[in-house]
């Protein structure tokens, strides 16, 4: 029997229709997944179910029945009892969903008071139980901490604890693992799956990650432009996706077999919610489009085994030919490294007391060494907090290193003054993780790009010269020249990332440091950015230091891989050596935690707990508190480098 029944739900925001006739059911204990790109209406659907829509939005038709009760007909006072008590919700961004001025314990206790009637010591004890249930170590201490004192993974777990405080029968999880490392993602997904089966709780999971869908879903609903276009059980969907949109999502996934080639992309973008559709909403982006697709909305077609699709094609959509790998396109002739890093250290002092004396240091980067050849891609991977971004900024001298050497094309950077570094900055640029935060919202795109050119020795650019210089750059990254007059907020996430890349390319760099440039992008937009980076490397002989925790992207793009843990590189080598045959237990755990679209589970034990604080790293091997192979030798001394094969270097006593 269904615990939730949604029928023809339509939500309008003035002339826009972000949700336009959505219907689905969820049974107790079942996981139903809404899959699709950003802008398809997934989150708006969830907010509509909870009646948490923004002021301008309203449900104009349809029904939402929860345990036989029509939620849309309830007065707000009764709906408050349903929220948290009957239906819990995990929001996409815990940092903005948790109250920053209240302790973790206070926020969980508040939910317990409202929905469980607990007070005082009983409520605090139950809050500690919930933190322990979601896998947070030392829960009694964490109750008195504020959200800013917790890592992203711990904040997400606190959000889950708050959602579980009312013992909901339905849990809505909106992109609960989007910005998490693969290890923390695996822990959160395992937790949700365990709670679902233990408490017979229904789960509505919203995501754009096909690996997460394969790991969690019982049934899948593919959403596009405000409507469901395909619905299927997990096995049928992954055996043969039926809708052309679903097929293209699979074809856009990066992997090692497509390295050196191009990923299949979906042209264009999701149509705006204001657009009216006479026929199929996917018609403008579909290569199988027919005349009837544009004249009338397609009906639902039953295929087999509970799979159905909203499409005029009589059966399953034809497979999309993805780009075939063309081999290694990177330059091999160079023998001198473009970037050489030796024993790099970045320590931040911990100051306390009235006189702010240094009483310790946060060892963010603690002795890193690596080399990057011209025209090659080195992937720097590891969990959040391991020092990847700090290391990238220190290499560019955006943060001054505490010790060590950084050489760019044979020139030592650490001894140069700010004035001496200025002419060198044109050779090295950075693409930041959040393009919206790194673009000035008050400047037009053309002015943003020209500003960098002028600052790094490009000379003054007059009003007439802006279009001449900026237009070709925008076209090089797949945008139109006339877009130079727009502001950053007028672009999608993928387009803003292209603008950030164009700004970096404006000064003709030799080295690009890319900090998680695809972490929050849909799979289709990610494919466009990866194709762009691959093309630029081939055409301009760029070298990339690619900071990421997305192993699939590493598999597709990287030539070399450096695995970082607590400020140090623990494994290094070519992608062909490290990824198929990892030697360090941490590398093995990272690869084992990646959700696979075939749903297979790795036999390697998943990592438990969180990374130790870099202010107080463990003695011996830093990984030993989380390593299943650790012994006394691991606890007493840090392992030296051991070489395997041509280039693979590992710091582990058990690597052999």
**Interval 351-357 mean pLDDT:** 85
The band of 326, judged by pLDDT with boundaries at 50, 70 and 90, is: very low
Report which of residues 495 and 537 the model is more confident about: 537
In sequence order, the 6+-apart residues with CB closer than 8 A to the CB of 564 are 368, 380, 381, 382, 386, 387, 388, 391, 570
Q: Is the pLDDT of residue 100 over 70?
A: yes
Whole-angstrom distance, CA of residue 458 vs CA of residue 426: 10
Whole-angstrom distance, CA of residue 480 vs CA of residue 469: 13
Report which of residues 152 and 578 the model is more confident about: 578
Q: Is the pLDDT of residue 601 over 80?
A: no
Q: Which of 439-443, 494-498, 544-548, 585-589 shows the lowest per-residue confidence on average (mean pLDDT)?
A: 494-498
pLDDT of res. 565:
95
Task: With H, G, I as helix, E, B as strand and everything else as coil, classify residue 61.
Answer: strand
* DSSP letter, residue 623: T
pLDDT of res. 465:
54
* pLDDT tens-place string over residues 390-411: 999 999 999 999 999 999 999 9
**Interval 467-476 mean pLDDT:** 83
- Average pLDDT over the chain, rounded to an integer: 88
pLDDT of res. 316:
56
Rg (alpha carbons) of the chain, rounded to whole number: 26
* DSSP letter, residue 164: H
* pLDDT tens-place string over residues 261-290: 788 888 877 888 888 999 999 999 998 899
Q: Is the pLDDT of residue 381 over 70?
A: yes
pLDDT of res. 443:
93
Most confident residue range from 156-165, 432-441, 510-519, 641-650:
641-650
**Interval 151-177 mean pLDDT:** 87
Q: 1-103+152-217: what fold? A: Rossmann fold (3.40.50)
Tell me the CB-side half-sphere exposure of residue 304, using CA atoms within 13 A. 8
Strands 339-352 and 357-372: antiparallel
Whole-angstrom distance, CA of residue 555 vs CA of residue 565: 19
Q: What is the pTM of this model?
A: 0.84
Q: Is the pLDDT of residue 433 over 50?
A: yes
pLDDT of res. 459:
52
* pLDDT tens-place string over residues 193-202: 988 888 899 9
Q: For residue 518, what is the enclosing H or E element?
A: none
Q: In what order do the strands lie in the sheet with 339-352?
A: 357-372, 339-352, 403-408, 411-412
pLDDT of res. 324:
45
* pLDDT tens-place string over residues 114-123: 888 899 999 9
Location of each CATH 3.40.50.300 domain in the chain: 1-103+152-217, 339-352+365-442+487-583
The band of 220, judged by pLDDT with boundaries at 50, 70 and 90, is: very high
**Interval 603-630 mean pLDDT:** 86
**What architecture is the 339-352+365-442+487-583 domain classified under in CATH?**
3-Layer(aba) Sandwich (3.40)
* pLDDT tens-place string over residues 305-321: 889 999 998 665 666 65
In sequence order, the 6+-apart residues with CB closer than 8 A to the CB of 317 are 241, 242, 243, 244, 246, 247, 288, 311
Q: Is the pLDDT of residue 327 over 50?
A: no
Give Dmax over CA atoms of the chain in angstroms: 77
Q: Is the pLDDT of residue 332 over 60?
A: no
pLDDT of res. 325:
43
**Interval 397-426 mean pLDDT:** 94
* pLDDT tens-place string over residues 28-86: 999 999 999 888 899 999 999 999 998 899 999 999 999 999 999 999 999 988 998 89
Q: Tell me whether residue 314 is exposed, middle or buried, using C-beta atoms within 10 angstroms of its C-beta: 0 to 12, 13 to 18, 19 or more.
A: exposed
Beta-bridged to residue 65, according to DSSP, are 5, 70
């Amino acid at each position: 029997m269904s615990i939730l029944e949604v029928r023809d739900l339509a939500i309008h925001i003035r002339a826009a229709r972000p949700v336009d006739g959505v219907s689905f059911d969820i049974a107790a204990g079942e996981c139903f997944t809404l899959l699709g790109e950003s802008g398809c209406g997934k989150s708006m659907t969830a907010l509509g179910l909870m009646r948490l829509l923004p002021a301008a939005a309203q449900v104009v038709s349809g029904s939402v029945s929860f345990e036989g009760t029509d939620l849309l007909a309830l007065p707000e006072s009764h709906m408050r009892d349903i929220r948290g008590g009957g239906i819990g919700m995990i929001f996409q961004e815990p940092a903005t969903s948790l109250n920053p001025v209240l302790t973790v314990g206070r926020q969980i206790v508040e939910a317990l008071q409202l929905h469980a009637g607990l007070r005082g010591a009983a409520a605090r004890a139950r809050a500690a139980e919930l933190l322990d249930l979601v896998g947070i170590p030392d829960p009694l201490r964490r109750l008195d901490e504020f959200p800013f004192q917790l890592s992203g993974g711990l904040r997400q777990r606190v959000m889950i604890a708050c959602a579980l405080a009312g013992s909901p029968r339905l849990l809505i999880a909106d992109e609960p693992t989007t910005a998490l490392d693969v290890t923390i993602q695996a822990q959160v997904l395992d937790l949700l799956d365990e709670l679902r089966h233990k408490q017979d709780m229904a789960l509505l999971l919203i995501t754009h990650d096909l690996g997460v869908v394969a790991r969690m879903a019982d049934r899948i609903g593919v959403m596009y432009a405000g409507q469901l276009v395909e619905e299927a059980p997990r096995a049928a969907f992954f055996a043969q996706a039926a809708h052309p949109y679903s097929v293209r999502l699979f074809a856009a996934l990066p992997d090692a077999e497509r390295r050196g080639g191009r990923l299949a992309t979906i042209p264009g973008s999701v149509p705006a919610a204001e657009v009216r559709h006479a026929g199929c909403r996917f018609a403008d982006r579909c290569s199988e489009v027919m005349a009837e697709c544009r004249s009338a909305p397609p009906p639902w077609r039953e295929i087999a085994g509970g799979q159905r699709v909203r499409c005029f094609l009589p059966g399953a959509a034809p497979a999309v030919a993805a780009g075939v790998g063309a081999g290694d396109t990177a330059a091999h002739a160079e023998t001198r490294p473009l970037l050489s890093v030796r024993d790099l250290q970045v320590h931040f002092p911990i100051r306390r007391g009235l006189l702010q004396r240094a009483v310790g240091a946060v060892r963010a980067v603690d002795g890193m060494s690596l080399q990057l050849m011209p025209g090659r891609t080195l992937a720097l991977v590891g969990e959040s907090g391991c020092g990847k971004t700090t290391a990238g900024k220190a290499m560019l001298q955006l943060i001054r290193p505490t010790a060590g050497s950084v050489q760019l094309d044979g020139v030592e950077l650490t001894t140069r003054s700010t004035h001496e570094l200025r002419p060198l900055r044109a050779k090295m640029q950075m693409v930041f993780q959040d393009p919206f935060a790194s673009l000035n919202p008050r400047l037009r795109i053309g002015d943003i790009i020209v500003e960098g050119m002028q600052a790094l020795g490009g000379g003054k650019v007059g009003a007439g010269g802006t279009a001449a210089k900026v237009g070709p750059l925008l076209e090089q990254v797949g945008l139109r020249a006339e877009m130079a007059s727009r502001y950053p907020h007028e672009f999608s996430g993928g387009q803003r990332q292209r603008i950030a890349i164009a700004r970096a390319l404006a000064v003709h760099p030799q080295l690009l440091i890319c900090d998680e440039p695809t972490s929050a992008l849909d799979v289709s937009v990610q494919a466009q950015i990866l194709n762009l980076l691959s093309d630029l490397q081939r055409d301009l002989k760029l070298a990339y230091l690619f900071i990421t925790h997305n192993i699939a992207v590493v598999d597709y793009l990287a030539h070399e891989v450096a695995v970082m843990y607590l400020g140090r590189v623990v494994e290094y080598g070519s992608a062909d050596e490290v990824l198929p045959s990892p030697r360090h237990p941490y590398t093995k755990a990272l690869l084992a935690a990646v959700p696979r679209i075939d749903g297979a589970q790795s036999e390697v034990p998943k990592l438990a707990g969180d990374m130790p604080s870099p202010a107080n790293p463990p003695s011996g091997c830093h990984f030993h508190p989380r390593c299943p192979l650790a012994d006394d030798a691991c606890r007493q001394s840090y392992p030296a480098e051991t070489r395997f094969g041509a280039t693979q270097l590992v710091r582990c006593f058990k690597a052999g």
